[in-house]
Amino acid sequence: MPRTLHIPIRIVLSLGVTLALMLHASGFQPLALVDQLESFAYDARLRLTLPGGVDPRIVIVDIDEDSLLQEGQWPWPRARLAELTNILFTDYRVRLLAFDIVFPETERNPALGILQTLAQGPLRADPAFQREWAVLRMQWSGDERFAGSLQKRPTVLGYSFALPGQQGQDLQVGQLPPAAAPLTVLAGAPNPFAVAAGYSANLLLLQASAHGGGFFNSPLVDQDGLIRRLPLLLSHGDRLYENLSLAVLRTLMDGPPLEMIAGAGYRDAAGQRVEAVRVGVFVMPVDAEGAVLIPYRGPQGGFPYLSARAILNRQADSRVLNGAIVLVGTTAAGLLDLRATPVQSIYPGVEIHANLIAGMLDQRLKYRPPFTSGLETLLLLMLGGLSIALGFASPLKALLGTLLLAVATVAFNLCAWQVLNWVLPLASMLLLLLLLYVLHNSYGYLIQARRERHLTRLFGQYVPRELVAEMSRQPGGYALGGESREMTVLFSDIQDFTTLSETLDPHQLTRLMQFILTPLTQVIHEQRGTVDKYIGDAIMAFWGAPLPDSAHARHAVQAALAMQARLEELTPELRAHGWPSLHIRIGVNSGAMSVGNMGSEFRMAYTVLGDAVNLAARLEGAAKQYGVAIIISETTRNAVGDLVCRELDQVRVKGRLQPVTLFEPLGAADALTEALCAELVEHDQALAAYRTGDWDQAATWFTGLHNRYPERLLYGIYLERIAALRANSPAEAWNGVFTLTAK
């Protein structure tokens, strides 16, 4: 064979291998072997980066072998399950209870059957018997007692769906829970969620008594039998039904609606495809089949386990259960809820849902971005070209170059995995590097002499090892400019939190922060607010963006009042954890401000800027000086005219020449006591006398108020000012405006 054909043949073979893998990446010619290797690569990355540790927010109540020995074989009497539910909520004060169990059949009680026959037959017209029958039915019916324990509590029941072609596709048992959303929520986008056929659901009585329900099985098991993902939603009829984990999340948030996010990156012949589901502030990316990847923490034991026996005997540690999300499931082998997963071959199904709930709460769900196929194709082309170039180097340099490319590929992939939560293909690229390296070396051994001479001629044209592609962060994808809007901004801060934090270790401080910020954030979300950022224990939020809100001031003030009330409600739980009661300070201001994506090419943030924002921060600081929990500006006050407010002062805050009138919102007029209303009248009279320079009359009013309400700093402040003004008469142009010197 002529020497001139040696290099073209090698290039053709290399391009053929590269093209085959590129066709696989683009979806034109899937290769089963590559898919299997990709699953292995996914599992390896998952195990390598497992966070480990124990997440105390979610507790698994385990129907284990000890529980079965004590209570007998499954199913247990429904009355016993009712007792379990009551103990968890009443004795241990859990936050939410979900059953990874289905209850499709009525509990049979022969005695009740006889009585029911009599009640519906011979004794139907006997009032005395009917009264006794109504009482006995509640006492003896396990279903009634279990349903009663679920009512008016945050409880979620599990059930199962079957897809067409699967076992149980024709089964339709029990009552499905209310749908999560109609199919119209897709807004014309193709439905990515699998269509369910049959189902095994709960009794109507039980499902109607629970807050919600979610399917717990996964009809999307991978070909190797491992559970790596769960469908977030399934469609049945013209409705969408939610996974048990999503049902738990929505129940925690009091059932916010689902919002489908469709991206142009998924555009195909059918149009845009759903890439994520948003529930409140939580976003769950989904794949082409509407499934989410499970963010495993590690092998079994990533969450606290408590035996159901210990709960029923009231022997469990209340510190573990207090305020926790509780999932009831089983690890008993005979109850068939053990699954094969990438982290453990025998893994409790209930802990799979615990992992997904924690991942959704922490927003650490891995996902394949919409540009995965294009990026994989581009990387294969680039690596193929570099490997072909390396094929002309010496064996040692080719080996080192291939290893360097492999390391760079793995490093890039792991960086995307850890930092961005992207799941990018890895096996195809490593396989390409391996195949091309073997191909080039095998070809070189066949024509070693000619290869060495050729490499000698090309040595000076060797491609440097430093040619490693940087990770693309798409800095041009965000607009830096903002727009001006009339909005309301809120700043909150926990009083004396810095002193408290010095007494807590990092773990306790983290738990306390989460314990406080979660309910306060929920209040803001309930009032249509956007949380801008957390600054330690402080919260910055705004109203009026990204969606316009004509009642932004009202929603902000209502949120401030609700935040204060919610923190007071948490006092018993704070004390139960050994923490002191906490008090909040809030500043609220309305006005024109700039809102939008602002920052740099390295980091962007959707935030607000402007003088109105700065004033709100000053008002939060002023709340400490006046000894009040909430201060709003006069612009905000004018927008909430039906709320009763106490006028505090007219001041110039630090860094601002324009004076502002400060108000303390107290609530709706019909919610105030007569004593408070009388106090406000007297306060207004005192303030009017002070503003007109009538020191004697003002001092009389404020002294009376101070004597009756010594806990209010405001009246003492005015008495000190009046004393100072008497000693040093103000200028004739004095208008009552006071200058604050502290922020």
Convert the pLDDT of each residue in 528-583 to its tens digit.
888 888 888 899 999 988 778 889 999 999 999 999 999 999 988 888 888 888 88
Q: Is the pLDDT of residue 70 over 60?
A: yes
Measured CA to CA, the distance from residue 178 to residue 209 in angstroms comes to 12
pLDDT digits (tens, 9 = 90+) for 426-436: 999 999 889 88
- Per-residue pLDDT at 423: 93
State the pLDDT at residue 126. Answer: 65
Tell me: the pLDDT tens digits for 73-92? Answer: 888 889 899 999 999 999 99
Mean predicted lDDT score pLDDT of the chain: 84
What proportion of the chain, given as a percentage, has pLDDT over 90? 43
Q: Which residues, 6 or more positions from 22, have their beta carbon under 8 angstroms from its beta carbon? A: 377, 380, 381
Task: Give pLDDT, residue 115.
Answer: 57
Task: Tell me which of 318-322, 524-528, 558-562 is least confident.
Answer: 524-528
Q: pLDDT at position 228, please?
A: 93
pLDDT over 70 (residue 415) = yes
pLDDT for residue 110:
54
The residues that bridge with 158 in the sheet, in sequence order, are 214
Judge contact between 342 and 48, C-beta under 8 A. no
Q: pLDDT of 586-608, one tens digit each?
A: 999 999 999 887 777 666 677 88
Rg (CA), the chain: 33
Question: SS3 for 532?
Answer: strand
728 has a pLDDT exceeding 60: yes
Mode of pairing for the β-strands spanning 584-599 and 630-633: parallel
Res. 301: pLDDT tops 80: yes
**How do 172-173 and 198-200 pair as beta strands?**
parallel
550 neighbors 487 (Cβ within 8 angstroms):
no
- Sign of dihedral through CA atoms 706, 711, 715, 716? positive
Structure tokens at 739: 């200058």
Domain annotation for the chain: domains and CATH numbers: 3-30+371-472 (no CATH), 58-362 (no CATH), 478-670 (3.30.70.1230), 673-743 (no CATH)
- Please check whether residue 491 is in contact with residue 616, taking contact to mean a CB–CB distance below 8 angstroms: yes
Model's pTM, two decimal places?
Answer: 0.57
What pLDDT does 478 receive?
35
Residues 563, 559: Cα–Cα separation, whole Å? 6
pLDDT(121) > 80? no
Indicate if the pLDDT at residue 141 is higher than 90.
no
CA–CA dist 437, 442 (Å, integer): 8
Instruction: Please tell me the predicted confidence (pLDDT) of residue 130.
Output: 61
Q: Angle of helix 713-727 relative to helix 611-626, nearest 10 degrees? A: 90
User: Long-range contacts of range 117-124, CB-CB < 8 Å, 24 or more positions apart?
Assistant: none
Residue 72 has pLDDT above 60, yes or no: yes
Cα→Cα distances 593→26, 57, 483, 541, 730, Å: 46, 38, 8, 13, 36
- Of residues 554 and 395, more confidence is placed in 554
pLDDT tens per residue, range 6-56? 455 777 778 888 888 888 888 788 888 888 999 999 999 999 999 989 999
| Model pLDDT, residue 123 | 64
The residue whose two tokens read 């936050």 is: 95
- Is a pLDDT exceeding 70 seen at residue 471? no
What confidence score (pLDDT) does residue 40 get?
A: 93
| Nearest Cα to Cα of residue 384 among 102, 12, 713, 726 | 12
CA of residue 373 relative to chain centroid, distance: 28
- For residue 460, pLDDT beyond 50: no
Residue 335: is it exposed, middle or buried by C-beta count within 10 angstroms (0-12/13-18/19+)?
middle
Q: What crossing angle do the helices spanning 32-48 and 427-446 adopt, rounded to 10°?
A: 120
Tens-place pLDDT, residues 217-246: 888 888 888 999 999 999 998 999 999 999
Residue 679 and residue 305: Cα distance in Å, rounded? 54
